Structure 1
């Protein structure tokens, strides 16, 4: 093929293709090591339908391409075609994504004849089904965004919603929307405003054999204090899928949240026997042992629990190097174990990772402030970081927790000294960020009557004036 034909072919590729190569999947947004582990785990479990396995093969093919292994990528894409065709004659729409992937892969491999062949196959499908977009493509796009990076969750949500507009009763798209809502819905959202429970119910109704969805619904119902139904769903799921590691790990989370830590540990260790490379399970075990530390009655019990906690958190990070939440939890454990240098080093690593991938910075800042307050006893530094964390996003979980910490510190100081102007200033900032304007003004006015530092007085005046 001439260079002119090559250029023409490349220009035509994105024009009518919907596939991994055209969905804006940025390598820098993806933890490829962790994603590869999770995809291999899905393929090795053999608990999914042929459709899900075919989809996993397509994802794996694209990951192999990103890692520079075109031959392996081709093998996975071809396996996906075989699995998809086993659905029967009415599978053309399901082949759109993988045919697009193959066209792009062959183009990158320099095999323009094969690339053109797959473009022709896609044209035939488009002639057969001219109404686009296809729900099947929107759904797979949603699952891909959901699987590849949390940065793509909003895009996943939109894809599932569009797919459901075309096919409202399709179980796959209902399940996808339920999972992405579960992962993104504000922790503090009131049940009256919540859509996740309704969507999870619909997902369970359209996927009655999916025990993972039942446990997720149970976990969310507990937050809304619907304990009886939650426990019933979790017991059903465990009875139906006693060896399914995804079910077991979420059931383990459920029992930990309910205070049954030892039962949770037993379940999670069972799951770990089947998927030893799961960063998620190691992290959950770390959280279980963290809870055991709090309930321990002797130094020996604390020491044992902390050793296990640190071990599992370290394993989680080893398996998933960008696991920032596990880093902050491990850093705090080092701090509580009086290993301040390792704690500081881990926090700095977490800050670096959060900045590098532009994610989770607010969370790291909150935990670092907690470390400064509780381990280093640097209250002034902790206050500064809690305030910065609060201002990043007052409505996020970390923002709300920072507000709680600041209120506690300020009120304790005021109880000890009713003329502590700085403490009233802290309260003013908290109320200002929470949108409680009048309370904020009153606190700033009180603070101004007690503070004598000129720079701080000027700052307080600016804050007060901004609300008037």
Structure 2
């Protein structure tokens, strides 16, 4: 390419408006998990947005180094644009052509990159601009691209649709996009809850056959405790639905209602319409797990604590583990999927399998601060309640609290450490470990004076038998695993690069709660005694989770 240098070509490419210049996935530490979400969502958010989905998938595949597959996605996007928007194909294809130009540039095929750059320029010149134009179609394309990346991009997506609607206020596709983006923005920012409800209702009046919007509105109404209206919308959507995404969201609605058999049937139906994904398998596993909890709660209330109940619960836990195992065989797995499988193994008494999964989770990279904290909390629970390894549990609770991420997990670890410290402090004579725990907890909370007071008490105990070792008081305990000799039972695992966003939290229980542990089911709290389940039962309940997807 003698007449055009690579540098001048790149300068022209930077003027394009496409996925390569929108800086998508800029803050994503691991993009492997996103492909499944994008594939699942193609065409389900809005029938006119399939081309946009394939454009986004092409960009993602490029980031993964799969450029030939990316070219196939762009070819499919170009075909769909002709079908979906025959009257706007030239303008709509500007994004696809821009992606082609960038992709060929990265592949070193500069002549082909120039060809597509010229196609963009030829169209843009009609609007007095060399390489980009400001029009509703381009804003719409960017809006769908950002929306399909997840709720964290919803605010920017919403702005794109609003800007486009200023010029085309009657465009149904733009109204659908705005309604969905507003819902996503509320999920992230917790802004005014009624705004998406109003938008969804208004959009449904204009597009009454949009079953995706019906189930989305139903889920929002469910959060507002209007379950009756929500269920009516779900039933209407299911009468005509042929979309796996509609089945999945409807299943989520019934699962939150506690109608788990119905949720399971809808999840299974979704599998008939789309290839199995890690998310779908995991949600089915969670349904079986919660179904087991329902049976325990019901039989506790009815006073039935027999062998038949124990066997039924074990079968359901086995089914849950089976589907969670299938989830981990797929790409796009999140850390909480590993943690949930480990807790199922623990509930079934398979402690070695549980330990192996927890070790994988501990070694995963990269992880967010919240994910690291969750892993330490859940693994601490396992060591605390299943294995009786209090020192190991304390170490992981402390490691989790070092991560300055205020969360439910943080509060649970703090409460459990406080309880353990109180237990040791109440011993006669008081123990060094109890004061150390209290001191460390106070220090992490920023209460230096209280931390010094506790450390002084620990120092007083330490100085009675010895004048050495004072410095060890002011550091957190070292890892019990690191202090053990490696033996045949200790295996180190390489952590995979998979991670995620639907999070299932482990529960830390107080002394009283462990006598009769509360389970949250069907929107209300009940009590289920673990006493009749066998020797592992108390620990099994300690790893129970609040389910979120």
**TM-score scaled to structure 1, two decimals?**
0.76
Deviation of 1:301 (Å): 0.8
Provide closer, same or farther for how the CA distance between residues 147 and 50 of structure 1 changes in structure 2, counting only shifts above 3 A: closer
Q: Corresponding residue for 1:103?
A: 101
Shift of 1:387: 4.1
Q: Is the CA contact (8 Å cut-off) linking 2:161 and 2:175 kept in structure 1?
A: no
Superposed CA offset, 1:312-349 (max 9, x none): 10111111253211101001111222222221211121
Once superposed, which parts of structure 1, at least 4 consecutive aligned residues long, lie more than 6 Å away?
356-359, 410-417, 419-435, 440-451
Aligned counterpart, 1:260? 259
Conserved in 2, the CA contact under 8 Å of 1:142 and 1:157?
no
Bigger CA radius of gyration: 2
1:383-402 matches, within 5 Å, as: 383-402=394-413
Could you tell me whether the CA contact under 8 Å between 1:197 and 1:217 is conserved in 2? no
Root-mean-square deviation (CA, aligned residues, Å) is 4.1
Match of 2:80 in 1: 83
Q: Higher helix fraction: Structure 1 or Structure 2?
A: 1
- Asked if 1:181 corresponds to 2:192, the answer is no
Give 1:117's aligned residue. 115
| CA offset digits 1:150-196 (Å, max 9, x no partner) | 6xx544533433542453663244245235336535xxxxxxx6435
Contact kept in structure 2, 1:139 and 1:172, CA below 8 Å: no
Q: Which runs of 5+ in 1 are unaligned?
A: 186-192, 461-468
Structure-2 residue corresponding to 1:212: 212
TM-score (norm 2): 0.67
Secondary structure at the counterpart of residue 248 of structure 1: helix
Partner of 1:171: 175
Per-residue CA distance 1:57-91 (angstroms, 9 max, x = gap):
21333344455554543343233223324413345
Q: Counterparts of 2:425 and 2:31 in 1: how far apart (Å)?
A: 46
Cα distance in 1 between the residues matched to 2:238 and 2:45: 17
In 2, distance between residues paired with 1:414 and 1:343? 32
1:67-82 aligned within 5 A: 70-82=67-79
- Verify the 8 A CA contact 1:289 1:309 in the aligned structure 2: yes
Distance 1:428 1:230 in 2: 50
- After TM superposition, the structure 1 stretch with the greater mean CA deviation from structure 2, 68-77 or 319-328, is 68-77
- Report the Cα distance in structure 2 between the residues aligned to 1:203 and 1:62, rounded to whole angstroms: 30
Aligned position for 1:202: 199
Counterpart of 2:317 (choices 284, 301, 306) is: 306
Count of aligned positions: 442
User: What is the match of residue 20 of structure 2?
Assistant: 21
Gaps of 5+ in 2: 297-304, 463-469, 476-549
Q: 1:412 to 1:128 in 2, by over 3 A?
A: farther
1:231 — aligned with what?
231
- Alignment of 1:317 with 2:367, yes or no, is no
Greater relative contact order (Cα < 8 A, sep 6+): 2
**1:38–1:355: structure 2 CA closer, same or farther, 3 Å change rule?**
closer
